[in-house]
Amino acid sequence: MHAILSESLSKTYRSGITGKQPIIALANFSVEVAPGQIFSLLGPNGAGKTTFVKILLSLTHPTSGRASILGRQLPDVKVRERIGYLPENHRYPGYLTGEQLLRSFGQLGGIHRSALRSRINPLMELVGVAQWRSMKVRKYSKGMMQRLGLAQALINDPELLFLDEPTDGVDPVGRKEIRDILLNLKAQGKTIFLNSHLLSEVELISDRVAILDKGTLLKIGTVDELTSVGPEYLIGIGADLTEGFLHEASALLLKLSYTSDSISAQLSSTEELNKLIDLLRKYGIEITSIVKKRSTLEDSFINLLKKEVVS
């Protein structure tokens, strides 16, 4: 069973009365998320990330395509007992206190009163809002609200969690705390679906990542797959390269660029890497380090979107 299965989901928003251009928010988007994973959906503003989550929650109706979550074909009201959702720009009723809010929304989630009572306090402790439990939500700061929102999403101990920009407005310590909470949830076997812009954060916790732009899937894979940029090596050297070495290297068609203390080599195979090492040894050039270069998720994200613009 997949936690999430989307088959050619498309969504076109039409503004009927004004007759403006229809907006294609999602185009033939297919994706599978296995249970127990942290899956992140990345993409620039307006890429369609929120639209995808909203379709999975039946907040928005797809124009075409099918989707299921936790093995249930959508739309399905009952399956929402097993999911949690932290929307972007959520607005909680300001007249409730943090504690009342968790109780009310827990009740709406179908949780029994007695179960709720034992759940609310530990949850408020977990997300770090326990000291504001009796304060009206109206007075919460942005980061406090976000933490409370996370508690709200977790109130029913969901199997599948949708988080739309969960660390938005949260301070760095809080972000780390939230990351730890998510990793902990993953260790409990929960599936987490994350929408985010914060690539450096996503990189730290995601098992799989998909990049979306203008409603279309550009790339999908593990963080490793998305960040390794072909075999490029940085080799530290202890002495200047000699004429003879350079001559022989170019004869071997090795693509190198160098400074006085390092060589950057683009190699097509480990065989080429070994040839390069042999050559360095032959000329008695000391090797101080060999590092396989990788880009950050941010680099590959930006490169990918740049290519998109060019093509």
Ligand X SMILES: Nc1ncnc2c1ncn2[C@@H]1O[C@H](COP(=O)(O)OP(=O)(O)OP(=O)(O)O)[C@@H](O)[C@H]1O
Q: What does the alpha-carbon distance between residue 147 and residue 174 come to, in Å, rounded to a whole number?
A: 9
| Residue 49 interacting with ligand X (CB under 6 A) | yes
Q: What does the alpha-carbon distance between residue 262 and residue 235 come to, in Å, rounded to a whole number?
A: 5
CB of 196: closest distance to ligand X in angstroms? Answer: 9
Task: Report helix, strand or coil for 98.
Answer: helix
In the complex with ligand X, the residue whose CB is nearer, 55 or 273, is 55
| Residue 77 interacting with other proteins (CB under 8 A) | yes
Binding mask 47-76 for Mg ion (x = CB under 5 A): --xx--------------------------
145 secondary structure, DSSP code: H
Q: For residue 76, which amino acid is it?
A: D
Q: What does the alpha-carbon distance between residue 4 and residue 56 come to, in Å, rounded to a whole number?
A: 9
CB of 46: closest distance to other proteins in angstroms? Answer: 16
| Residue 89 interacting with other proteins (CB under 8 A) | yes
Quick one: which of 108, 234, 239, 252 contacts other proteins (CB under 8 A)?
A: 108
Q: 49 is written with which tokens?
A: 């990330």
Q: What does the alpha-carbon distance between residue 137 and residue 140 come to, in Å, rounded to a whole number?
A: 5
In the complex with other proteins, the residue whose CB is nearer, 165 or 272, is 165
Stretches 35-43, 92-100, 226-234, 259-267: which one binds other proteins (CB under 8 A)?
92-100
> Which residue pairs, CB below 8 angstroms and at least 24 apart, start in 118-124?
119/155, 119/157, 120/155, 123/151, 123/154, 123/155, 124/98, 124/99, 124/151
Q: 105 is written with which tokens?
A: 């929304």
> Which residue pairs, CB below 8 angstroms and at least 24 apart, start in 115-120?
116/155, 119/155, 119/157, 120/155
CB atoms within 10 A of CB 89: 8
Quick one: which of 20, 22, 46, 284 contacts ligand X (CB under 6 A)?
A: 46
CB of 89: closest distance to other proteins in angstroms? Answer: 5
| Residue 59 interacting with other proteins (CB under 8 A) | yes
Stretches 49-57, 72-80, 108-116, 126-134: which one binds ligand X (CB under 6 A)?
49-57
Distances from the Cα of 208 to the Cαs of 122, 132, 310, in angstroms?
30, 35, 26
Q: Which helix (H) or strand (E) holds 25?
A: strand 23-33
| Residue 13 interacting with ligand X (CB under 6 A) | yes
Q: Choose from ligand X, Mg ion, other proteins, none: what does 46 bind? Cβ within 5-8 Å by kind.
A: ligand X
| Residue 152 interacting with other proteins (CB under 8 A) | yes
Q: Choose from Mg ion, ligand X, other proteins, none: what does 57 bind? Cβ within 5-8 Å by kind.
A: other proteins
| Residue 85 interacting with other proteins (CB under 8 A) | yes
Q: Which helix (H) or strand (E) holds 307?
A: helix 297-310
In the complex with Mg ion, the residue whose CB is nearer, 11 or 49, is 49
Quick one: which of 45, 91, 172, 224 contacts other proteins (CB under 8 A)?
A: 91
CB atoms within 10 A of CB 144: 21
Q: Choose from Mg ion, ligand X, other proteins, none: what does 43 bind? Cβ within 5-8 Å by kind.
A: ligand X
Stretches 45-53, 92-100, 175-183, 281-289: which one binds ligand X (CB under 6 A)?
45-53
Q: Which residues bind Mg ion (CB under 5 A)?
A: 49-50, 88
Q: Which residues bind other proteins (CB under 8 A)?
A: 13, 54, 57-61, 77-81, 83-85, 87, 89-93, 95-96, 100, 104-105, 107-110, 152, 162
